[in-house]
Amino acid sequence: MTGASAGIGAATARELARRGFHVLAGVRRDSDRTPLQARDIEPVILDITDAGHVAALAARVERDPRPLRALVNNAGVPGAGPVEVMPLSEWRRIFEVNLFGHVAVTQALLPALLRGNGRVVNISSLNGKISMAGYGPYAASKFAMEATSDALRNELAPHGVQVVVVEPGGVQTEMSRAGLAALTRLGDGMAPEQHARYGALMRAIPAHVAAFTKAGVTADVAARRIAKAVTDRRPRTRYTIGATAAFLIRASRILPDRMLDRMTTSDLRRHYPTDDRGRTTPRVPIRGA
Ligand SMILES: NC(=O)c1ccc[n+]([C@@H]2O[C@H](COP(=O)([O-])OP(=O)(O)OC[C@H]3O[C@@H](n4cnc5c(N)ncnc54)[C@H](OP(=O)(O)O)[C@@H]3O)[C@@H](O)[C@H]2O)c1
């Protein structure tokens, strides 16, 4: 399990341990070991972008006589900001964690998973299926994780390893806090014409994220759903978390792009700043161009 220091990862580590698994719980700092320490939870130092940590994890797994039942790729970083203004170095950092880190851990543990007929459970997002203004970098990394999961599922199906994707909607964790700090830094670095283009959007995102997260499920609810994806005897290829994700992902399969655009834009628009007459500023078109 990667990203077990907090949020969904910590709750899932506890839930899996409660169900009788011995959980290798990846954390990046020594100080994050202690709060997790419990019977059947073994914290391991794991930054998924650090090749040395990933190799040490693989060696730890190889030393264990028990079969590796599942790898839960949960670690993730937020990445909100307009495509134009997000620096390339940030795009790369987001992909380094949300995609390449998971590929690295998966590659390293596949020999053990193949031996044990284990399972890969990738924690994607509603944004792995739906992208919208202001969420491009994060959504791109999750779309990429979805595509990688589809390929891997088909590659490994003949070899006894199942690949499952979990798509949460809002979950009440601290993830948004880190994202909003990064968004403020991004806004501080924007040129005046970029402020004119994206200032209102940038101001809407924190309120949108806060409302989305507040309306979400708890990390414990998410953990139970992930544990189901880990343990179902005949798992589905995808599990959503929360009613919003279930509804919107289903809708995205059937609605035309322009209609989805209108839905996501009007959802964001509710959080745009307003002028003294209560009108959204600047006026945001919500009808297809
Ligand atoms: N919360 C939501 O509403 C939501 C919605 C959809 C999808 N998700 C997805 O669910 C997963 C968990 O999110 P969360 O809400 O629980 O977020 P969170 O509370 O911020 O936890 C993220 C976890 O990822 C870890 N992490 C970050 N960078 C890492 C790296 N380089 N190597 C290893 N671990 C790293 C963090 O460790 P540190 O503490 O060391 O930073 C932390 O343990 C993410 O993949 C996220 O995209 C969340």
Q: Which residue's entry shows tokens 């628009």?
A: 269
Sign of CA dihedral 38, 47, 238, 149: negative
The count of residues in the chain is: 289
Closest CA to 39 of 62, 60, 23: 23
Separation between Cα atoms, residue 145 and residue 168, nearest integer Å: 14
Helices (H), ranges, 116-191: 136-156, 175-188
Cα 73 to middle of ligand 1, angstroms:
10
129 C-alpha to center of ligand 1: Å? 18
Catalytic one of 138, 198, 239, 272: 138
Q: Are strands 70-73 and 119-123 parallel, antiparallel or unpaired?
A: parallel
Burial of residue 233, with CB atoms counted within 10 A of its CB: 0-12 exposed, 13-18 middle, 19 or more buried: exposed
- Residue 2 is assigned to a structural domain of this protein: no
Which residue's CA lies nearest to atom 17 of ligand 1? 175
Q: Which residue's CA is the nearest one to ligand 1's atom 42?
A: 3
**22 part of a folded domain:** yes
Element (DSSP H or E) covering residue 159: none
Query: In this structure, is residue 280 part of a structural domain?
Result: no
Residue type for position 200: A
* Residue 53 · residue 28 · CB < 8 Å: no
Rounded to an integer, what distance in angstroms lies between the CA atom of residue 239 and that of residue 246? 9
Q: Is residue 243 part of a domain?
A: yes
CA pair distance 219, 196, nearest whole angstrom = 37
Please give the pLDDT value at position 282.
59
Residue 219 alpha carbon, nearest atom of ligand 1: 16
- Separation of alpha carbons 9 and 28, rounded Å: 13
Task: Please check whether residue 283 lies inside any domain of the structure.
Answer: no
Is 138 annotated in the active site?
Answer: yes
Whether 276 is in a domain gets the answer no
Query: Which protein residue's CA is at the shortest distance from atom 39 of ligand 1?
Result: 5
Distance CA 83, CA 78 (A): 14
Q: Which DSSP string corresponds to 184-195?
A: HHHHHT--HHHH
CA of 92 to the centre of ligand 1 (A): 17
The full DSSP string for 36-96 is H-BTTEEEEE--TT-HHHHHHHHHHHHH-SS---EEEE-------S-TTTS-HHHHHHHHI
Residue whose CB lies within 8 A of the most ligand 1 atoms, among 149, 171, 220, 249, for a mutation test: 171
Q: What is the CA 140 to chain-centroid distance, rounded?
A: 11
Looking from the CA of residue 10, the nearest atom of ligand 1 is 43
pLDDT of amino acid 53: 98
Residue 113 belongs to domain with CATH number: 3.40.50.720
Is residue 4 helix, strand or coil?
Answer: coil
Query: Tens-of-pLDDT digits for all 289 residues of the chain?
Result: 999 999 999 999 999 999 999 999 999 999 999 999 888 999 999 999 999 999 999 999 999 999 999 999 999 999 999 999 999 999 999 999 999 999 999 999 999 999 999 999 999 999 999 999 999 999 999 999 999 999 999 999 999 999 999 999 999 999 988 888 899 999 999 999 999 999 999 999 999 999 999 999 999 999 999 999 999 999 999 999 999 999 999 999 999 999 999 999 999 999 998 877 777 765 544 443 3
CA 108 vs. chain centroid, Å, equals 21
Give domain status of residue 1, yes or no. no
Range of the domain at 240: 7-269
Q: Is 181 helix (H, G, I), strand (E, B) or coil?
A: helix
C-alpha 286 to ligand 1 mean position (Å):
32
CA of 98 to the centre of ligand 1 (A): 9
The answer to whether residue 194 is domain-embedded is yes
Number of domains in the chain: 1
- Kindly report the protein residue whose alpha carbon is nearest to atom 45 of ligand 1: 76
Q: What separation in Å is there between the alpha carbon of 165 and the centre of ligand 1?
A: 15
Mutating to test ligand 1, I would choose from 1, 2, 5 the residue with most ligand atoms within 8 A of its C-beta, which is: 5
Residues with CB under 6 A from ligand 1: 2-9, 26, 28, 46-49, 74-77, 97, 101, 123, 125, 168, 170-171, 173-175, 178, 213, 216
Residue 11 CA: nearest ligand 1 atom is 16
